[in-house]
């Protein structure tokens, strides 16, 4: 059995992209250090921030809340709350909401739940009748809106999401495939001058496998159902392809993220960057005359 590269304990993880074995103790410390460094380097959290963690109850958001809770003492006067969005997906959402409630109860963290039915008048299942192939697009637009509403009600200064390295690398490829350069270079974590609540992604350099391993080592892993609509997602195909590249060429996902940063620097201040306007219907910030939510509502009413 391989031993840890930093001590003599048995290794539980092999980090192929840097050819390093780590034991459970050193792996946990490594993940926490990398997340803390990401937050510090990008100034994601500053003193007196009130941070809302988008807590679905799944593995990524669970790991995010645990990590931020552990790092909390290192920040001055920072408070965490959790916001769960109940889209209304039968046979799926019930278990993940229960998982979120149990976690926040155990950690003693304030927890808010916002439902699609309460906010938009119906469940996601109802909205998707006859539109199942558009599931991820419709859900994504409405979920972001619901999260912002919950965050505003709670008076937070930042919204933290559990997007991991795999998610971010997949998004880079998807935006390239779509030819969507404005979305590729968009940065939602910058100071918005009060136009929107900045969103931060502290796990953006931690892989999905590392997150799963971290949860298992910290007795926080639980088997939960997968969203039934994922079978319609383009992301599922991109995920499979990118996983194959990462296995054959370790470091591929990190290289994609470095490429994105370089493109952002080249495009900074150019006409490609979208200027924010106010939606003519609801007043929310957007890049056109209407925000995505209002455009979606118009299409659903037809």
The two structure tokens encoding residue 216? 């298992």
Predicted pLDDT of residue 167: 95
CA distance 168 to 164: 6
Predicted pLDDT of residue 189: 64
Predicted pLDDT of residue 233: 83
Predicted pLDDT of residue 267: 80
Q: Where are the domains of the chain?
A: 28-268, 278-302
28-268 CATH: 3.40.50.620
Predicted pLDDT of residue 185: 82
CA distance 2 to 248: 21
- Dump strand ranges (E) for the chain: 13-15, 20-22, 50-54, 79-86, 110-115, 158-160, 199-200, 277-278, 285-286
Cβ atoms of 2 and 21 within 8 Å: the answer is: yes
Cβ partners under 8 Å of residue 16, min gap 6: 250
Cβ atoms of 42 and 205 within 8 Å: the answer is: no
Q: pLDDT in tens for each of the 302 residues of the chain?
A: 899 999 999 999 999 999 999 999 999 999 999 999 999 999 999 999 999 999 999 999 999 999 999 999 989 899 999 999 999 999 888 999 999 999 999 999 999 999 999 999 999 999 999 999 999 999 999 999 999 999 999 999 999 999 999 999 999 999 999 888 888 887 776 655 567 899 999 999 999 999 999 999 999 998 888 889 988 888 889 999 999 999 999 999 999 999 998 988 888 766 555 567 888 988 888 878 899 999 998 888 76
Predicted pLDDT of residue 15: 94
Task: Annotate 75-107 with b (16+ C-beta within 10 A) or e (fewer).
Answer: beebebbbbbbbbbbeebbeebbebbbebbeee
Predicted pLDDT of residue 273: 53
The two structure tokens encoding residue 121? 């008048």
């Amino acid at each position: 059995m391989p031993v840890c590269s930093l001590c003599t304990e048995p290794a539980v993880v092999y980090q192929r992209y840097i050819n390093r074995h780590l034991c459970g103790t050193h792996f946990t410390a490594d993940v926490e250090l990398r997340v803390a460094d990401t937050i510090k380097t990008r100034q994601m959290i500053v003193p007196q921030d009130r941070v809302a963690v988008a807590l679905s109850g799944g593995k990524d958001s669970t790991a995010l809340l645990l990590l931020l809770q552990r790092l909390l003492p290192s920040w001055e006067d920072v408070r965490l709350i959790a916001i769960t969005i109940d889209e209304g997906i039968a046979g799926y959402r019930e278990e993940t909401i229960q998982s979120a409630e149990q976690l926040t109860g155990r950690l003693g963290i304030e927890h808010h739940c916002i439902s699609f039915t309460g906010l938009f008048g119906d469940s996601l299942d109802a909205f998707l009748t006859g539109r199942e192939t558009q599931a991820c697009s419709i859900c994504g637009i409405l979920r972001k809106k619901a999260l912002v509403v919950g965050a505003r009600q709670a008076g937070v200064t930042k919204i933290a999401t559990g997007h991991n390295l795999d998610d971010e690398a997949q998004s880079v490829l998807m935006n390239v495939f779509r030819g969507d350069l404005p979305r590729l270079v968009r940065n939602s974590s910058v100071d918005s001058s009060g136009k929107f609540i900045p969103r931060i992604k502290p796990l953006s350099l931690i892989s999905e496998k590392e997150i799963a391993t971290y949860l298992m080592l910290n007795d926080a892993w639980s088997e939960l159902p997968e969203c039934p609509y994922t079978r319609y997602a383009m992301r599922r195909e991109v995920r499979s392809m990118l996983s194959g590249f990462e296995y054959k060429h370790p470091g591929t996902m990190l290289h994609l993220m470095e490429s994105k940063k370089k493109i952002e620097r080249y495009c900074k201040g150019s006409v490609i960057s979208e200027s924010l306007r106010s939606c003519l219907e609801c007043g929310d910030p957007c890049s056109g005359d209407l925000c995505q939510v209002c455009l979606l509502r118009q299409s659903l009413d037809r």
